[in-house]
Amino acid sequence: MRILTVGDVVALPGREYIFQNLNKIRAEYSIDFCIVNGENVCSNNGINKEYFDMLIDRGADVVTLGNHSFANNQVVSVLEEDSRLIRPANYPPETAGMGYTIQDLGYAKVAVINAMGRVNMDPLDCPFRAVDRILNEIGQTKSAPFPALKLGKHSNMAARGSKPIIIVDFHAETTSEKIAFANYFDGRVNIVFGTHTHVQTADERVLPGGTAYITDLGMTGVHDSVLGVKKEIIIKNYITRRRQRYEKALGEVWFNGCVFDVDVKTGAINGIERLFLKA
């Protein structure tokens, strides 16, 4: 199975690029399943029903969120009605929506979990414990880890049966928290990818226990910017120490993401390809 994960889609330029190109990218890379981080898809952050529906229509199978999950009021009804939109699992239990979804493709099940870091972020529940609880719910406990795998090699893992391929979008600020998180779940999930910083990292790899990992996918948005915002505004922020009103940048879009090749029978990672595409 070839799984495409797409970094934070930022505002009008990013979403228009996705609407026009995601299905083409799926076809070019022979993608079977696609996860898109959509927490910045609206121009003022967040996501609404229209843009969620368009992401699904144009090739996303699951849309994940982050610290801007509730920036748009429309998101509550979508979270309550459609399991393909998920928010971080470590929000309070009363929060609308779910922190994970399991999608049945017929030949395989895919569990997608969304969690959010706490370093320099909102003071939520512990993401480690929140994902532990979810793994217990879906039957992947600490006592049943994956055997050690190597990139491009076949695994001697016993048949997985009905257990799903497990993927985590860890939306976090610091590389240290992301790396620690991935290593904590190494061998219990198939893929951990980071989002939120909007800067793609070059550390894609398979961890010792067999989990595929990249610290941050990057963003799909205007490259001549500061994280998708007009660079002049952010520069003025730093120089004057007075917060300015943010305006999203316009210009050429870069698409950031990663393709993971997973053996559905064993869970082995057969390949990782980081994507950096210019419009």
- Which of 105, 102, 121 has its CA nearest to residue 113? 102
Q: How far apart are CA 70 and CA 52, in angstroms?
A: 13
Q: Nearest 5°: CA angle at 153, between 60 and 161?
A: 60
* Longest distance between any two alpha carbons in the chain, whole Å: 60
User: What is the secondary structure of 40-83 as a DSSP string?
Assistant: T-STTSS--HHHHHHHHHTT-SEEE--TTTTSSTTHHHHHHH-T
Say what angle helices 11-28 and 49-57 make with each other, to 10 degrees: 20
Residue 229: beta bridge partners?
A: 226, 248
Q: Select which of 68, 171, 196, 198 is catalytic.
A: 68
State the distance between the two ends of the chain, measured CA to CA, in whole angstroms. 26
**DSSP assigned state of 146:** P
Q: Nearest 5°: CA angle at 255, between 78 and 77?
A: 5
Q: How far apart are CA 162 and CA 109, in angstroms?
A: 8
Strands laid side by side in the 191-195 sheet:
100-104, 109-116, 165-171, 191-195, 212-214, 205-206
Q: How far apart are CA 178 and CA 261, in angstroms?
A: 21
Question: Could you tell me the CA-to-CA distances from 85 to 81, 127, 151 in Å, in that order?
Answer: 9, 19, 30
Q: Is 68 a catalytic residue?
A: yes
Active site residues: 68
